[in-house]
Chain A
Amino acid sequence: NAGVTQTPKFRILKIGQSMTLQCTQDMNHNYMYWYRQDPGMGLKLIYYSVGAGITDKGEVPNGYNVSRSTTEDFPLRLELAAPSQTSVYFCASSPRDSGRRGQFFGPGTRLTVL
């Protein structure tokens, strides 16, 4: 299994541009999550999904959108990028039967908005 994969690894955007961060997992996990990590800080939850077709806001959802059309994919959309969205973005997943015990993380996407 590849686990959780994210693309791209790095991206530089100009203010006002849009982009989609891709996330795919091959573990058949029901639950998927998007976090952002600012320098020297912990992870903050942006959006999460408990299954295909179901998404919900996390702690810091403003400026982002998500969709979950399949179990495997959970893309994160940034509309009108702002410098405050400069961060490292992590996607994670967890299984329904043992998800309370923790999540599996992807390698991250480092985004810079100039």
Chain B
Amino acid sequence: GESVGLHLPTLSVQEGDNSIINCAYSNSASDYFIWYKQESGKGPQFIIDIRSNMDKRQGQRVTVLLNKTVKHLSLQIAATQPGDSAVYFCAENSGGSNYKLTFGKGTLLTVNP
């Protein structure tokens, strides 16, 4: 079946470094990809999205890259801070009128001071 997955389940970085979290997807019909951040004990929080007709989108300290050729999505966090420590999920919206999302398993990002 269609799935969204992650290459790295855990990532540990030093404060101030840049972080890159990767995600592979398999549904070529997906038209939106979204990154969520989930802190311990909380619900997922929207970070940034990208439409399938784009290959890059930037937000505040975050950049999402989309490579449709290899069905790969990445989230780059610049100057990573301790407050960025969380689980990061990618999700894809595979179209249709119900806006259902398919989530990956998540990557745990730990930022060391």
Contact = CB atoms under 8 A, between A and B. Distances in A.
Interface string A24-46: 00000001010000001111110
Contacts of A40: 105-106
Interface string B59-99: 00000000000000000000000000000010101000111
Interface residues of B, number: 24
A45 B100 contact: yes
Contacts of A43: 44, 89, 101, 103
29 contacts: A4-B43, A40-B106, A42-B89, A42-B103, A42-B106, A43-B101, A43-B103, A44-B103, A48-B100, A50-B97, A50-B98, A58-B100, A90-B43, A90-B44, A92-B43, A99-B99, A100-B31, A101-B34, A101-B93, A102-B46, A102-B49, A102-B91, A102-B93, A104-B46, A105-B36, A107-B42, A107-B43, A108-B42, A108-B43
Contacts of B45: 105
A103 B104 CA distance: 15
A46 B91 CA distance: 16
Contacts of B98: 31, 48, 50, 56
Contact size range, A:
20 to 34
Contact of B105 (A41, A50, A101, A104): A41
Given A42-B103, A43-B89, A48-B98, A106 B32 contact: no
Nearest to A35: B103
A105 B43 contact: yes
Interface of B: 4, 31-32, 34, 36, 41-46, 49, 89, 91, 93, 97-101, 103-106
A54 to B, nearest CB: 10
Which 3 residue pairs spanning A and B have beta carbons closest together? A105-B43, A42-B103, A99-B99
